[in-house]
Amino acid sequence: MTTPFRFVLVALLTLAFPAYGADRTIYLTFDDGPLNGTSNILDVLEAEQVPATMFMVGMHAQASAANEALVQRAKQLPLVTLGNHSYSHANNRYQHYYADTEGVVADMMRANAVLGLKPVVHARLPGRDVFRLPSMSKNDTSLGLAQEGREEPDYEFVAASGFYLYGWDHEWVHKDSGEPVQSADHLVSEIDHLFGYGRFVKPRKLILLMHDEMFQDSFDGKTKLTNLITALKQRHYTFGAIKSYDD
């Protein structure tokens, strides 16, 4: 192979596989646990030895002794960061929830007590792709201007109450039943594309949103998550702990 052709081939491969050999980090995050699927997630994370953040809901943690045990198991795994995803998950009435600033903070604090978390707590607000970190701030761009203006004080007040707030860059989408929409291979292709051409809140750092219910046995969840992590490893992505995201 001639030298000029070798340079051309390397350039083409770089374009085709933009993540190879690059310092590009995936932050695995899971919302709404503990639920069916949480145990499978923890099994996979322990087996694959990759860091992840479990943003848990206080009400779900109190639902049963088994769920309380899952919270304790997550806290005992060194590579798992337990985060706050509210106590009530807004009862899925988001506009009503965010209309009461003090109520949002009280709900988050109640989750802290249930989950055994102390400030500063890594957190994700229910239903809102919002960041409030020491180095940056970002609102949910999917909201209308009137709604965003009404809710913005809530975000600031929550952050000032002892929370680092994290949104996300990409989502592994699921159906109402919880079943994942994309295959693991398709999701990895989306991630490759985003790293090649997309923009993130933090350069070269992608926060991936998933939900615990996606990884139930009925959806072969353990295999799906293992396949995702294996494929990302093969593409030489780095897995990051959320504590390092704002560095």
Q: So what's the pLDDT on residue 153?
A: 65
Within a domain: 13: no
**What's the structural domain count of the chain?**
1
59: which 2 tokens?
């009400």
Lookup result for tokens 């992505």? 237
Number of H helices, E strands in the chain: 9, 10
Asked if 86 and 62 touch (Cβ cutoff 8 Å), the reply is: no
Within a domain: 44: yes
pLDDT per residue as tens, the chain (247 positions): 454 444 444 344 444 444 454 589 999 999 999 999 999 999 999 999 999 999 999 999 999 999 999 999 999 999 999 999 999 999 999 988 998 989 999 999 999 999 999 989 999 999 999 999 999 999 888 877 656 556 666 888 999 999 999 999 999 999 999 999 999 999 999 999 999 987 899 999 999 999 999 999 999 999 999 999 999 999 999 999 999 999 9
* Domain housing 192: 23-240
Within a domain: 5: no
10: which 2 tokens?
């390397």
Within a domain: 224: yes
Lookup result for tokens 């707030």? 165
Within a domain: 88: yes
Q: So what's the pLDDT on residue 147?
A: 63
Q: So what's the pLDDT on residue 148?
A: 56
212: closest CA among 38, 28, 29, 27? 38
Residue 165: CATH number of its domain = 3.20.20.370
Within a domain: 8: no
Within a domain: 18: no
Within a domain: 148: yes
